[in-house]
Structure 1
Amino acid sequence: MKRNGVMAKINAENERIKHQYFEFLKQANGRSEATIGHIERAIRKFEEAMKYVSFKSFDQKQAIQFKDKMGETELALASILSILRYVQSFFKWLALQSGYKRKIRLTDVEYFNLSDRDVRAASTPAEKKFPTLKMIVKVVNNMPTSTGLELRNRALIAFTAITGIRDGATISLKLKHFDVSMRRVRQDPKEVATKNRKLITTFLFPLDDSLEQIVLDWVSYLREEVLFADHDPLFPSTIRTLDENDCFIAGGLSKEHWSNANSIRKIFKTAFLAVDLSPFTPHLFRNMIVSEAYLRGLSVAQFKAWSQNLGHEGAMTTLTSYGTLSLHDQAELVRKSGQGSKDRPKVLEEIMAILDANKE
């Protein structure tokens, strides 16, 4: 499609069928807006590579061409694999739609596949860097505490460290969701944006007493100093006011939730850079928690409890998604495992008990 002799960066027919696909993903497959956004960008990359021609012209040559173009980019192999799979799934769906059934052959769609070797390489987890508990304590201890905003920022990092709660859920928490006496956070999906909209009950992890006290002091400050009530945010957003030059500046704590987690991530980044440490996202604090579980030599039952505390239905999710050891920890545990353990029979009994319970 050309406009004034210039290739237009849109194909109306393509846009209409993409809209139908995204609606299918949302309503039939239950995909989140974030995931649909990733899929939309992947399909747009394909369109850009094919100069926005109609999807009805798709064939194996286009699949191979797109795969080759992705291979020429600086994207990680894992990212390329995800993009190709997103686009492949789209064309598999498209091949079943009216007006496209006779145009698209499913055998051509298979040409998006990478080689088995590339799939294995893309699926191999890289060593993930995440903050240590000592690093987080250092960051928190260095943070200023003169204003309500500064107290909030410090409590926010401390809270994330001892709960591992995702930032998307944190911004929607209310004071009533945190039971101080039980040290418990109830993530009610009716009000809290939990992953997959499930109820998650999280108790404060016993990682560091000072971090826990910071969180408790913050809740006390909200209730007693600024008179927040149950339905007010646990971590309120910032009031924006105008200075004498009509420029926006931070004016204090609001009684509104943040609309997204961008501000939280900026707070984390600023705090880490302030002590000359590489910044880490809130989500990587979950890896730190699992690392601490290893270091503390938890029993199988305790590890299961920690896993459940992170919102995982099974301990295998914790081990595979967050439990990859650093090379240093791997070496330490391998070398020490040869020393034997007096608790081994007890651990085996616990494993068998959990397996038996899962059968019921």
Structure 2
Amino acid sequence: MKAKNPTNERIKRTYFHHLKHADGKAEQTIRQIGRSIARYEEFTGQRDFKSFDQKQAVGFKDDLAKASMAPATIHSTLNDLKRFMGWLALQQGFKRAIRITDIDYLNLSEKDVRAATAPADKAFPTLQMVERAIAAMPSASPIERRDRALMAFTAITGIRDGALVSLKLKHFDQVRKLVLQDPREVSTKFSKRIDTFLFPLNDAFETIFLDWVDHLQNEELFGQNDPLFPKTALSQDDNYCFKANGLSREHWANASPIRTIFKDAFKSVGLPEFTPHRFRNMIVSEMYRRGLSVQEFKAWSQNLGHEGAMTTLTSYGKIGLEEQGRLVRAIGNPTLGGDNLDALIAQLTALKMIERS
């Protein structure tokens, strides 16, 4: 591997500074853009960015295709590079070197764009699968009770794992059964405030979680600023090896341990391994199964942190193949007319999928 190009490194630092302070991009997003640009530099052998032309653009696209990368990854990598080159073409010293028309050669074909942007089918657990996994989880020790409460809490909130690791006891309003995801203290997506009431999916889940909160407050003597789901405390055994030793009063550094807990819980009962994020799909599938009204659907959508019901429908709302077949083949009125049509129009209008004329 060739050494990094100092000139390229300097201009990248300027670009990353621009992304953070002018565009307001998050650190994680900037790191991803940096990886995309680094892939291009690896392809060119660390050549100066001024050498960019249509030949390099086409060659880089071919190189990504040969690497057997996912279409979505290729698409995002090229988009990152296009935006960087577009910004670079406006900078002093690069205006004559980089032609805007050459940047267009980083575009994918319409067919490839459709393949890259098509929603992927993502497996997720059913409510029954979650119930089985949680029912089989042990709860003798504080650590085991924490792990079981983690699963139950996620099932009735759909909360993202990044927020899970940053929640404190004070972020749960026990009277209102409300989780207050304040972006100043909780790591939420796009740093937005999300108010989440406990979903009424399973009374046992709610009891498990509320018992956990009681355990923290009355047995562990946790305060309001202590973590809702603390990480495991470690100590050394006689052989100076680390071992679990109850609960600490610290947050997990990241969500990796939580994902492991979830996967192990499903694996222990012979089910596919699911991550916390797939619980959001499970909740949306329950929204369909329970036949919520438009108003209820909107409320559940907001409870997940979605600003609009269309986000719920398009990002998490794909109906499984078997359920699709059941609904299509369901015996019912062979024609959609009268009151049925009016009801459908009213629902679609409320969800802002169509406009009334």
Q: What interval of TM-score do these two structures reach, taking the shorter chain for normalisation? A: over 0.9
How big is each residue's C-alpha offset from its partner over 1:283-331, in whole Å with a ceiling of 9 and x where there is no partner? 1111111111011110111000010001111101111111112111211
Deviation sequence 1:244-286 (CA, Å, 0-9, x none) = 1212221111111112111111111221221222211211111
Distance in 1 (CA, whole Å) between partners of 2:267 and 2:179 is 29
Any residues of structure 2 matched to 1:11-160 within 5 Å, and which? 11-160=5-154
Contact 2:310 2:351 survives alignment (8 Å): no
Q: Indicate conservation of the 8 Å contact 1:189/1:198, yes or no.
A: yes
Aligned to 2:290: 296
State the identity %: 56
| Closer, same or farther: CA 303–232 of 1 in aligned 2, 3 Å | same
- Displacement, 1:77? 1.0
Cα distance between partner residues in 2 of 1:86 and 1:337 = 49
Residues 200-227 of structure 1, C-alpha deviation per residue, up to 9 Å, x if partnerless? 1000111111111111111111111111
Could you tell me whether the CA contact under 8 Å between 1:171 and 1:260 is conserved in 2? yes
1:253 partner amino acid: L
Note if contact 2:180-2:196 (Cα within 8 Å) is conserved in structure 1.
yes
Q: Is the 8 A contact 2:309 2:351 kept in 1?
A: no
Task: Give the match for residue 225 of structure 2.
Answer: 231
Q: 1:164 aligns to what SS in structure 2?
A: coil
Between the aligned partners of 1:9 and 1:282, the Cα distance in structure 2 is 40
Q: 2:273 aligns with which of 275, 279, 299?
A: 279
Task: Give the equivalent residue in structure 2 for 1:242.
Answer: 236
> Could you say which residue in structure 2 is the equivalent of 1:4?
none
Partner of 1:3: none
- One-letter amino acid of the structure 2 residue matched with residue 264 of structure 1: I
Q: 1:344 to 1:232 in 2, by over 3 A?
A: farther
In 2: Cα distance, 1:164 partner to 1:325 partner: 18
Give the corresponding residue for 1:255: 249
Task: For residue 156 of structure 2, give the secondary structure of its aligned residue in structure 1.
Answer: helix
Alignment partners' CA distance in 1, 2:22 and 2:274: 35
Query: Match of 2:171?
Result: 177
Q: Which runs of 4+ in 1 moved over 3 A?
A: 337-355
Gaps of at least 5 residues in structure 2 are: none
* Per-residue Cα deviation, 1:114-143 (whole angstroms, up to 9, x for no partner): 001111121111221111111111111111
TM-score, length-scaled by structure 2: 0.93
Secondary structure of 1:71's counterpart equals helix
Choose from 144, 156, 162 the match for 1:162.
156
Any idea what SS the aligned residue of 2:180 has? strand
Give the number of aligned pairs. 351
Tell me the residue number matched to 1:218: 212
Relative to structure 1, is the Cα distance of residues 113 and 338 closer, same or farther in structure 2, using a 3 angstrom cutoff? farther
CA shift in 2, pair 1:337/1:113, >3 Å: farther
**Matched residue type, 2:15:** Y
CA distance in 2, matches of 1:39, 1:51: 18
The one-letter amino acid of 1:61's match is: K
Gapped regions of structure 1 (runs ≥ 5): 1-6
What's the RMSD between the two structures over aligned residues? 2.0
Partner in structure 2 of residue 189 of structure 1: 183
Secondary structure at 1:276's aligned position in 2?
A: coil
Residues 89 and 98 in structure 2, CA contact (< 8 A), matched pair in contact too: yes
Q: Distance in 2 between matches of 1:344 and 1:222?
A: 52
Select the residue among 319, 327, 339 that pairs with 1:325: 319
